[in-house]
Amino acid sequence: MRLKLVAGNWKMHGGIERNRDLLSIVISGTAGLQKTACAVCVPYPYLSQVQSLLKNTHVSWGAQNISQHDMGAYTGEVSADMLTDFCCYYVIVGHSERRTLYGENSRTVSLKFKVAQDAGLVPILCVGETLEQREAGFTEQVVREQLDAVIGLVGVDALARSVLAYEPIWAIGTGKTATPQQAQDVHVFIRNIVASYNVKVAAELRILYGGSVKASNAAELFAMLDIDGGLIGGASLVAEEFISICLAAQN
């Protein structure tokens, strides 16, 4: 039985006061969750604040990116050790916005996955195709390439200490959600790839869906057998929406 996870991806949103208000409502609104884990991945400058607001609560926290390097002359970058200094539990790697806007390729993403894990962080590895790739029938090929790069570097057993997120790029921030069946099909495809190496790791791997998940569509997505929760962008910034999504995962 896989424990569901709902993780907020705040992207480049937030503010000291806003974070405080949002998190205090989220903490109390999700206090009754038992079969669902809840987390927020926040911009770097707020890690300290979020750590102090969330420590000793049931909500975990993490970052949205990590450097593949340990330390050194990498202006603007943040290392794994810096994230563990703020007791991050998760870090998102390979989000499509990093891949498309900042030129991260599958090799870079797998290096980031590795440094995160080596530091004890749990990477949330994002994979997913563009609209053109889907329409051309390349969804499986794209997802396989993104996943194989990571498995090739760290080995399939390392996936046991990670979370996957299938995020079709055409559904991110567009209001267009994959249908539950479209998402389920790709989740099964991902799980089968992992199972071809290690059945146990595949059975226990949490695969989240991300892309315009809202309170109104979360329940039908989470009802699918291989959808183990969600990576939530826009809706994670609205306390009531985020709480409803967490509750939908619980049911």
Residues that bind ligand PGA (CB under 6 A): 9, 167, 172-173, 210-213, 231-235
Catalytic residue of the set 97, 104, 129, 167: 167
Least distance CB 50 / ligand PGA (angstroms):
17
Least distance CB 99 / ligand PGA (angstroms):
11
Q: What is the 3-state secondary structure (H, E, C) of 129-189?
A: CCHHHHHCCCHHHHHHHHHHHHHHHHCHHHHHHCEEEECCHHHCCCCCCCCHHHHHHHHHH
Question: Using CB atoms, what's the residue nearest to ligand PGA?
Answer: 233
The nearer residue to ligand PGA, 104 or 167, going by C-beta atoms, is 167
Confirm whether 69 is a catalytic residue. no
Give the DSSP H or E segment for 22. Answer: helix 16-29
The nearer residue to ligand PGA, 53 or 171, going by C-beta atoms, is 171
Least distance CB 235 / ligand PGA (angstroms):
6
d(CA 244, CA 247): 5
The nearer residue to ligand PGA, 53 or 221, going by C-beta atoms, is 221
The nearer residue to ligand PGA, 167 or 226, going by C-beta atoms, is 167
Least distance CB 157 / ligand PGA (angstroms):
26
d(CA 205, CA 207): 6
Is residue 154 within 8 Å of residue 113, measured between CB atoms? yes
Confirm whether 13 is a catalytic residue. no
> 128 has which bridge partners?
none
Q: What Cα–Cα distance (Å) separates residue 35 from each residue in 5, 7, 58, 96, 150?
A: 9, 14, 12, 28, 29
Catalytic residue of the set 95, 104, 129, 241: 95
The nearer residue to ligand PGA, 54 or 231, going by C-beta atoms, is 231
Least distance CB 70 / ligand PGA (angstroms):
27
Catalytic positions, written as ranges: 95, 167
